[in-house]
Amino acid sequence: MQASAEVLIIGAGLSGLAAATFLKHKDPDISLLVIEQGDHPGGAVASYLEEGYLAEAGAHGFLDNSLESKVLIHEAGLTQEVEKAPLSEFVRYICLDGQLQCIPQTPGKILKAPLLPLTAKLRVLADLWKKPLPDQPSVAQWVEHRFGKKMLPFADAVFTGTYAGDIERLKLEAVMPGLHNLEQTHGSVLKGALHKMRAARKKNGKKKKGLPAMTSFHAGMSRLPQAMAAKLIPNQEIMYRTVARSIARNEKGWLVRTGQLELQARHVIIALPVNRCLELLADSEFPTPPINALQEARIANVVLGFTDKAKIPFGFGYLAPEKEQRFALGALFSSHMFPARTPEGHVLVEALVGGRRHPERLDLPDEELVSKVYDDLKQLIELPDPPVFSRVLRPKYGIPQLEEGYPALLDWRQKIHAENNNLHLCGFGWQGIGINDMHKQAWEMAKRILTGYQEERAEEVKGVYF
Ligand SMILES: Cc1cc2nc3c(=O)[nH]c(=O)nc-3n(C[C@H](O)[C@H](O)[C@H](O)COP(=O)(O)OP(=O)(O)OC[C@H]3O[C@@H](n4cnc5c(N)ncnc54)[C@H](O)[C@@H]3O)c2cc1C
């Protein structure tokens, strides 16, 4: 059986659907087909509703500071369904010395707060004269070198919250390419940041941007892929239970084989997590990648509902650096941010367990996970009674870890793009792991198709939010 389209998109997660949405936005008549191995859209995004509790097995939200994400919300028709929790209001906590401490939202304010001794604050200034480390330092090596050991728990919290990762292994150049670039260009992050601030002031005058807001939807994050997929014609523009098994070049572009189908397309977007993409390209004509796979960090989300006697501190949630030796990596105070997610008179906490450093904890049975998380939380938060609701969500997807070998893998992808202007690789782990990164990458791929434009490696400096 044969089918053809101008653009074939493999994967109906946020990346593939975002690429389809952007392409249709720019060219409503474009012939495209999205194929998805599962029976529904969304991939790593999976909202979970039970007995009035709405939780997330995957992403909980994204910041509203990305133009690409704003366009998608509009195109998906979800503007009225958006829920926002501004970071200026929903403070975050870090567990330090066995206690939750409220942390200001920017590195500058952290330095002013009484969280660090004066000597540690002064040590940060050493960044002004420290030479860049050779090779590709890990985040931990880099932070200690530039800003001092006392800043490590804060860096640890950031990368526990985003990658469920290990700062001893994550590569600075891969996870913060913008900061790495500032350091390389200006010899110091502080000097580079000042330079950028001055340039921005020149451009925008005194207008300050302010902090972004965490964004989701009334019915949870799954609404976004569902709404984008609903704009595509079933079986003509989107096909479920269809697995791409191989891809080969031919005179008309690319031939993608699934179990039963041969799909011919001029352009193919492989919108898959890095490891799935490497598997698909493994026996093909492309050069061998520098590494076979990225490590992935798996987590479990232990969802707990309490009566409102529980005194959950107001805010977004907390993170626990590894040195605190806690059972949970941290927890989201979901019903503070998004209040309609519990039955009346109840509160919802979603605690994350496992990650790159503690995969063995995911082998525990659900009851044990619930009881260990409850014991852990009880020491940090006033919880007079045990949870009245509990559920352990075990996401199918791991979070790609941008560790040793990742920068070379990005070079490999760039070479493939340079040599094949009608093959486009984006998706979970290619230049970032967050939803906004995925939407940006999807937009870059749509732009390549529509204009033949050759993307350059973006080295954007992103805000560091805890
Ligand atoms: C536990 C967890 C928590 C997260 N939390 C956040 C968060 O709070 N904020 C944030 O910004 N980001 C978060 N993320 C990251 C975010 O979810 C991802 O960036 C995003 O969902 C990735 O989308 P994707 O489309 O690239 O990949 P995926 O979601 O993995 O989608 C790929 C799709 O391709 C399909 N597929 C795979 N192989 C094939 C094949 N051969 N043929 C056809 N189809 C195939 C899969 O079934 C899947 O549907 C989290 C991720 C995880 C795992």
**What's the pLDDT tens digit per position in 131-149?**
999 888 999 999 999 999 9
CA of 281 to the centre of ligand 1 (A): 18
Section 288-311 average pLDDT: 96
Q: Please list, residue by residue across 318-334, b when 16 or more beta carbons sit within 10 angstroms of its beta carbon and e when fewer do.
A: bbbbbebebbbbbbbbb
Residues 171 and 235 in one domain: no
Residues 280 and 352 in one domain: no
CA of 437 to the centre of ligand 1 (A): 12
CA of 309 to the centre of ligand 1 (A): 36
Question: What is the reported pTM?
Answer: 0.94
Residue 203 and residue 197: Cα distance in Å, rounded?
10
Q: Which of 178, 204, 230 is the last residue of a domain?
A: 204
Q: Which of 349, 372, 394 is the last residue of a domain?
A: 394
CA of 428 to the centre of ligand 1 (A): 6
Residues 151 and 273 in one domain: no
Model pLDDT, residue 211: 86
pLDDT 10s digits, 247-267: 999 999 999 999 999 999 999
Residues 230 and 287 in one domain: yes
Residues 197 and 260 in one domain: no
pLDDT band, residue 3 (cuts 50/70/90) = confident
Residues 284 and 409 in one domain: yes
Model pLDDT, residue 220: 98
Task: Specify the residue with its C-alpha closest to ligand 1, atom 49.
Answer: 43
Model pLDDT, residue 461: 57
CA of 267 to the centre of ligand 1 (A): 22
CATH number of residue 188's parent domain: 1.10.3110.10
pLDDT 10s digits, 324-375: 999 999 999 999 999 899 999 999 999 999 999 999 999 999 999 999 999 9
Section 192-198 average pLDDT: 87
Domain presence at residue 231:
yes
Q: Is residue 288 scored above 70 in pLDDT?
A: yes
Task: Specify the residue with its C-alpha closest to ligand 1, atom 21.
Answer: 44
Q: Is residue 455 scored above 60 in pLDDT?
A: no
Total number of domains constituting the chain: 3
Domain presence at residue 91:
no
Name the percent of the chain lying above pLDDT 70: 95
Section 282-298 average pLDDT: 92
Model pLDDT, residue 79: 98
Protein residues with CB under 6 Å of any ligand 1 atom: 10-16, 35-38, 43-45, 58-62, 243-244, 271-273, 276, 280, 299, 395, 397, 399, 427-428, 433-435, 438
pLDDT band, residue 464 (cuts 50/70/90) = low
Section 180-184 average pLDDT: 88
To test the pocket of ligand 1, the residue of 36, 228, 316 to mutate (highest count of ligand atoms within 8 Å of its CB) is 36
Model pLDDT, residue 331: 98
Q: Is residue 118 scored above 70 in pLDDT?
A: yes
Domain presence at residue 261:
yes
Residues 125 and 190 in one domain: yes
Residues 290 and 337 in one domain: no
Residues 252 and 384 in one domain: no
pLDDT, averaged across the chain: 93
Q: Is residue 391 scored above 60 in pLDDT?
A: yes
Residues 253 and 332 in one domain: no
Domain presence at residue 168:
yes
Section 55-84 average pLDDT: 96
Task: Specify the residue with its C-alpha closest to ligand 1, atom 1.
Answer: 58
Model pLDDT, residue 366: 98
Task: Specify the residue with its C-alpha closest to ligand 1, atom 35.
Answer: 11
Look-up: residue for tokens 């977007």? Answer: 269
- Which residue range is the domain that position 114 belongs to? 106-204
Q: Is residue 206 scored above 70 in pLDDT?
A: no
CATH number of residue 243's parent domain: 3.50.50.60
Model pLDDT, residue 181: 87
Q: Which of 171, 204, 237 is the last residue of a domain?
A: 204
CATH number of residue 342's parent domain: 3.90.660.20
Residues 237 and 357 in one domain: no
Q: Is residue 208 scored above 80 in pLDDT?
A: no
Residues 156 and 229 in one domain: no
